[in-house]
Structures are given as structure tokens and as C-alpha cells.
Homo-oligomer: A and B are copies of this chain.
Amino acid sequence: MSNIDRYRDRVRSYPAAASQAAFLLGGIGAGNVSVGPCGQLRDWEIFNWPGKGNYLPFSFFAARVTGDGRQPMTRVLESRLTGPHSKSHGYFNGELAGLPRLANSTMWATYPFVYVELSDPELPVKVTMEAYTPFAPGDEQASGIPAAVIRYHVRNPTAEDLTVSLVGSLANALGFQGYDVFGNLKLAGDVDNERRDSPHCRGLLYTNSADPDFEHFGSMAFATDEQDVTFRRTWLQGQWNDNAQDFWDDFTDDGRLDDSRAIDAPGSELDNFYDFSYLRLREKIGSIAVEKSIPAGQTATFQFAISWFVPNRPKGWIEVDDELAAHAAGQYPTIRNHYATRYADAWDVIDRLFAELPDLEARSRRFTDALYGSTLPAELLEAVANNIAVLRSHTCFWTEDGNFYGWEGIRDHVGCGKGNVNHVWNYAQTLAYLFPALERRMRRLEFEIEMSEDGELPFRSLQSLGEAKWQMVPATDGQLGAIVRAFREWRLSGDQQFLRDLWPRVDRAMEYALRRWDSDGDAVPDAQQHVTYDIEFYGPNTMTGSLMAAALKASALMADAAGDPDKADRYGHLAIQSAENLDRLCWNGAFYQQRLDDPDAYRYQFGRGCHADQLLGQFLAHTSGLGHVLPADHVRQALRSIYTHNLIDRMETVHTVQRVYALNDETGLVLCSWPNGGRPRFPFSYSDEVWTGVEYQVAASLIYEGMLTEGLTLVRHVRDRHDGFVRNPWSDNEAGHHYTRALSSFGLLTALLGFAVDLPGGVITFAPQASGDFSSFWSHGKGWGTYRQRRTEDGDLIAEIEVIEGELGATEVRTPAQRVEIVERARAEAR
């Protein structure tokens, strides 16, 4: 079975009509271009800015097929446009909607690879597009290349030999400033294309005339490592459609490209009167064609790559109208992307990409094999793998100084929720497990730069990008969660320097939290508690309370390791007290509720409600290897209550005036339910909403507690809502596309695998929720690989741990198996 089809039955497929499906290519902190279900490149976001819906005119791939006695046939390698076709001006020239396309397409992806199978009864060949950007856990540089590999596998199923020319065209869009009213690109300066050859590839380098320090300076490259190649450096720049007409005529004629010919015949008068972008094209289009003979029954592959280098991004968090206006007025300094420290220009990127591609691809495939070759259930795989896109989307960015940043998510054209919001990133596990070094940078930012002297953590980290400190009240959940996550980062990495540096600050943050939120000394938050629902809870509740219990337990362990036995003792005792008091104050026999005499005394409480996040601290404790912080039987019962009361079979039965993320006959988990009545007149303003980040958190918690069926059922409902027709499978939206909270999904994997990591202690636990054959991917701060167990015929359980990159880093491995075999590959040097 080829790489293409290997795991196809493990993942969902999307036909052309699944118009919302968009798979992001592009590295960490590098920007993106997405692949759509027709095989089209869409949503060009390579200019340091979100850009949903941004298209590049005249940019597409096409194939010309011919053979003995055969009429040549040329087709754009996309399936037909599915509509609606109701734009005010029809389809613009640059969309080339009138070039012939194919009848059928099917898209699927096994991260980081995406495939689009294209076929047409009239076309003698079958074509499968394959595209990816290299990806290797733990190696953020190899996973952070500003480029994409795009190749077409062309199969000749006929009994005769065929000649196929495959051409790609790409607009030079450097200095991208959006679109004018005619739908043409606005560019900040002049652009030019040049031919480049190097040992590993040949192609085109696109440049612009901007100063290298200017925000809109940059380069793009488009190249191939194939042999029989012809080029068109730039399309004819005539008037109207001259450019595309001339290109199409040239290519369809013989499948090869000539340089464009000038036109002597006079053009139109309009050009003398009107600076009309149809007539005076700003963008320069380049094309590369590759010709191959494909014998009967054989397949040939045509490989291309696209790279970009747009080094300067605005330094600061531009989000709301006045910030956008200030940026438009040129009032933002710039900072360089991390990739700008590693590459000289886009040609450097593409040349090194081709040079290193065999290795990069092998590593990427090993990741795919480890993940999709496991026995992990399909819905869990989808939740985990599809959300990796968040890290490589514009939700995140990575600067020259090595700092790593995250919005909450992105709007179509601008970020949303500035400053690594700690109460949202609270839920996120994916970065911590896959790229722990970047997650540690985030902890250092909040504890070392943002934290006040008194230990208050502003819930937005703004100062390292030169903005003023965030002045609002701190978030109780965010502050306590940051402490647990500092613990997690230490345990996942074994980075003792990290602990030494952070512990005094974590300690201060812990004391601040006790001082500020626990008014009566019972280690339970009861004062005004700002939380992730953008409001404040009052009185004891386990949403913040379980986080305090977890933070105290984590602090005790960190204090101990940092050589502070008094604090270890203090926090250890408080942790026990906190859990006991919470259980006493909030347990109602079926779940934990808010302890507040009059839930209408303040707006935005939940009172007797069953809150989906009532065990958020327990979730964080599990994913950090802290185990139970609340009584296990109550935790299980509370989760069962959430599953029973908050999972709504048909969301249309929930009548709500809040924002809506699931509706009609969709099934979703609401943030709060009131099975015993007592809904406040104004409950917290997101109480009826369905957030995938919380759904995954609850599902993972269910799995941690052994309720596998319930956990997976919940995940399946989430994924079914993201079917490509109504939502993008590669974007869980909340307050933005690619929303950070959905990175809780990695917790599903750690839960099912029973994965607990204590690298400082040298202990790793695999305790899967499976008694028989089972396998999974795993990853931590020193390496990644697979865990496999199988039941032998005589009833023994045998475990095999393969370390694919890095090292296992443990002296003790705990598994349920009678026998454990550890296989280390020779890639330790990659870490």
C-alpha cells in the first residue's frame, strides 16, 4: 500500500461540496496556505496576518495529457467550483473559473500530509495531490519551515503510454495589502521574479522593492527538483486577460512554456484614462512546467515546493479598531519572525528544504506512522491530530528572540484575544507534549516578565512585546493553572534549571492566590474570582477550587525538589485541606455545585448548576501527572453527571440568547445545566454555549476515570459537527478560528494511554485504558515514539516502547505488562 492510501480508512474524507474544509500548510510561526476540498490552494496567510478567504490570483496547477493519436487535454487540477456563484462580479479573472476542471475530488489527511484525489471520466489519468510541511515533535525548527511541498501523483491506468505536462503558476504577492474594489491585489511596492538554479532545485525567486526593514519586505520562491522543466518567469503584462490568455495558449499548445511574447497590436483606450487593476496588473505571475512520459499502468510524481520569507511582523498585539488604525498609519515597530534567524531569503528556504527533504519527509512519515498506525480510535485521532494545526496557524507566532506567543484564536483577518491568555491556554496540552521547549518559553514569559512583585499574574502577557501591563483583575483559574502547568513543564522536560529559575516566582504566585482568593484560610477560593467565562464567580466552587487544590499539590512537589521543605510542607497540608473543604462545601451528592446562598446576588453565577468545568483542576492534575486531587469516587460521579445532564442530544432544545456553536440537531456539551433547577436569572454569559475545548477536557476526564465509551462518544459528537460541510475539520472555533482551548484534545491521548511523565524522577507511566492489544503515540520533553501492548496466547501482556526520536529519559517505566521491551532509534541527536 502506498503512503497515500496507507491510513485512508482511518480518517474522514471530504468531497468537493465539503466547502468549509481547509487543511493548513506551513510551519510553526511561519504562516499558512491551505488546501481545500477541490484541491485548490486557499486562505493565503503567509504575510504575518490571518487571511481567511484570501486568494492569490492566477495561482493554480494544471496538467496536459497526450499520447499517440490522442487529442491533448488540459485541465486545472481542481474539481469544479461548487458555488454559490453569486458574487457581485461573478468570478474575477484571477480566479480563472472558466478553465476546465475535473468532475470529482476527495480530500483526506493524515497529519501533516493532506491528499486530494482528482478524477474525471474524460481525463485518461488519475491524479492525487499530496502536500505537507515537515513535522517532527520536539523539533520546532524542522516543524517551523515557511514552505510547503506540493506534489502530484499521476497514474496512467490506460494500456498506452502517455505524456503528461504538469504546470504550476503562482502570483508574486509580496507586499500584500488586501484587494482593491476590482478584486485585484494591492501590493506595497514593485515586485519582480527571477530564475534561480541551485544543486537541489530550480525555479523562481520572487522579490519586492521594499527596504529589508520594512514590514512588507519579503521574498517567495517556487521551485521543483524535477528534470524536464520549462519556465515562464513572468506572464505577459498586457491588458485585460492578455496575461492568462497568452499563458494558456502557450501551455496548451505543447505542454511547454516559452517566455512571454510582447504584443504589438494596440490595446484599449481605457488604459490611457484609468488606473484599472485589470489593465495594469500589479502582481507578476510565474510558471513552472514539468513534462514526463508515463508508461501504461505506471505512476509518475511531479514535485514542487513553495516557500516564503516575510521576516518582519508588527511588534505588538493588534486586535481592536484603534490598534488596526494605528497599524494602518504605520505606527507599529516590527520584530522578526524566528524563521528569519535561520534563513536568508525564500530561496534559501526552498533550497534547503529540497536538500533536506528526504530526511524531513522520513521523520514526518514516522510521526504519521506512530499516530495513525496506532490503535487509537478514529475520533480521538482526529481530535488530537487536526488540532495540531492550531500551533502552525496564525493563532501562534514565534519571534526572533525565541519567545512563543498565542492569541486565543483568530478572526478572519486579525487576531483575537491578545497575550497568551492564561485562562484559555490553561486547557491546552498539545504544545506542552509536542513542543515542550516552546511551552516552557510561555511559562517563563508569564512568571519572569509579566508577574508583579506581589505574585499577581496578569492574565495577558503583553510586556515582552513592548505593550503596557494588562491592568485588569487577574484570573483565578489562569493564575492557579499556570502554577500547575509550570509543574507539568518541569515534569515533562526534567529541566531542573527551569525549576530553579521559576520556583521562587511560582511560590510567590501561589501565596498571592491564597491571599487574594481564599478569604477564610480554608484553601478554597471564595472571594471574587475572575475566570475564563469573562466574569467573576463568588463563593466556593470546584472550577477554581480544584485548580487551587492541584496548584497546591504541584507547589508542594516543586518546593520539595527546589529544596524548600517548609513550603513543601505548607502546600502539602493546604492541598489536603483544600480538597477536603471543597468536597465538604460543594458536593451535592451527584456533582460539585457553587456554594453561594443567593446565586442572584451577583450576576453571572451558576449556583446549583452542573458545570462542565467543575473538575478543570482535576483534568490539569491528571495531564500533569498529579493524580487525583479530589476524591476519586466523587470525581467519577461528577463526570457521569456532566455527561448525563450537559450533553444535549439535539441542541435546538436549548433555548438560549448566548453565542451559538452547536445548533439544530447537533449534539453538544453545554457549559452548564441545572438538573435540580435553580438557574439564576442571569447565569454566566456562556453557560449555554458549547466549547470544543471544554468538551475535550470533559471527554479526557471521563477517559482518565475509565469511562471510555462516554469519553469517546462525546468526542465523536464534536467531530461529527466538524464535517467539512458546516465547519472546518481543521479549525475548532470559539472566540476565533484555530482556538487554543481546543488544544485540550491532546489530553484525550494522554488519558487513553494513561501517560504520566516524571522526568526529574526518571519515572514514566503507561497505564492504558485497555486490557488487551493496544498501541499509541507518545511524546514528552526528551523524545517521542510508540507504546504497544499485546496479549499473548497464554494471557501475558507484553509491552514494547519504541523511542523514535530522542530518548525515553526514564530509569523506571511503569506499565501493566508482564514484560516491557524498549527500542531506541538512533535519533537522540535530534534533541
Contacts and interface: CB of A to CB of B under 8 A. Distances in A.
Interface stretch (A200-208, A363-371, A720-728): A720-728
Nearest to A268: B535
Interface in A66-121: 80-81, 83-93, 95-101
A685 interface: yes
Interface stretch (A214-222, A233-241, A708-716): A233-241
B688 A98 contact: yes
B98 A654 contact: yes
Contacts of A86: 20, 726-728, 731, 733
Interface in A241-283: 241-242, 244-245, 248-249, 263, 265-270, 272-274
A733 B657 contact: no
A749 to B, nearest CB: 25
Interface string A592-611: 00000000111110000000
A536 interface: yes
Contact of A661 (B90, B269, B731): B90
A89 B736 contact: yes
Contacts of A734: 89-90
A44 B652 CA distance: 27
Interface stretch (A408-416, A447-455, A750-758): A408-416
Contacts of A89: 411, 416, 659, 733-736
Contact of A534 (B20, B249, B270, B735): B270
A655 interface: yes
Contacts of A20: 84, 86
A85 B660 CA distance: 9
A52 interface: yes
Contact of A681 (B80, B249, B272, B652): B249
Contact of A657 (B96, B272, B601): B96
Given A89-B735, A90-B734, A268-B604, A100 B414 contact: no
Given A89-B733, A319-B181, A471-B273, A80 B652 contact: yes
Nearest to A83: B726
A180 interface: yes
Q: How many copies altogether?
A: 2
Nearest to A534: B270
A681 B725 CA distance: 41
A91 B688 CA distance: 13
A531 to B, nearest CB: 10
Interface string A385-427: 0000000000000000000000001111010100000000000
Contacts of A96: 657
Q: How large is the interface on A (under 10, 10 to 19, 20 to 34, 35 or more residues)?
A: 35 or more
A780 interface: no
Interface string A641-672: 00000000001101111111101100000000
Contact of A659 (B90, B101, B319, B652): B90
Contacts of A603: 238-239, 242, 263, 265-268
Contact of A411 (B181, B660, B664): B181
A265 B90 contact: no
Interface in A307-349: 319-321
A95 B659 CA distance: 8
A242 B682 contact: yes
B602 A91 contact: no
Contacts of A273: 471-472
B656 A99 contact: yes
A99 B727 contact: no
Contacts of A728: 86
Most B C-beta atoms less than 10 A away, residue of A88, A90, A181, A682: A88
B181 A320 contact: yes
Contacts of A602: 265-266
A167 to B, nearest CB: 14
Interface string A15-38: 000011000000000000000000
Contact of A268 (B85, B180, B471, B536): B536
Contacts of A788: none
Contact of A90 (B241, B263, B266, B660): B660
A536 B240 CA distance: 13
A735 B88 CA distance: 7
Nearest to A530: B269
A719 interface: no
A369 to B, nearest CB: 31
Contacts of A248: 655, 657
A737 interface: yes
A66 to B, nearest CB: 16
A320 B100 CA distance: 32
B239 A663 contact: no
Contacts of A268: 534-536, 603-604, 685
Contacts of A682: 238, 240-242, 245, 263, 265
Given A90-B733, A245-B657, A263-B682, A269 B416 contact: no
Contacts of A245: 657, 681-682
A473 interface: yes
Nearest to A81: B663
Interface in A286-322: 319-321
A186 to B, nearest CB: 8
Nearest to A178: B321
A320 B180 contact: yes
Contact of A181 (B84, B239, B321, B726): B321
A98 B242 CA distance: 50
Interface in A663-701: 663-664, 681-682, 685, 688-689
B95 A660 contact: yes
Contact of A660 (B97, B409, B731): B97
Nearest to A321: B180
Nearest to A731: B86
Residue picked from A101, A660, A664, most chain B C-beta under 10 Å: A660
Contacts of A81: 663-664
A180 to B, nearest CB: 6
A724 to B, nearest CB: 10
B655 A601 contact: no
A660 B91 CA distance: 5
Contacts of A736: 88-89
A98 B472 contact: no
Nearest to A470: B273
Contacts of A319: 181
17 contacts: A81-B664, A83-B725, A85-B727, A88-B737, A89-B734, A89-B736, A91-B663, A97-B659, A98-B654, A99-B656, A101-B652, A181-B414, A238-B603, A240-B685, A245-B657, A265-B602, A267-B603
In the A-B complex, the 4 residue pairs with the smallest Cβ-Cβ separation, listed nearest first, are A240-B685, A98-B656, A244-B657, A97-B660
Given A80-B663, A83-B726, 16 more contacts: A20-B84, A80-B652, A88-B733, A89-B735, A90-B734, A91-B661, A98-B657, A181-B414, A240-B604, A249-B681, A263-B603, A265-B601, A266-B602, A267-B604, A268-B604, A273-B471
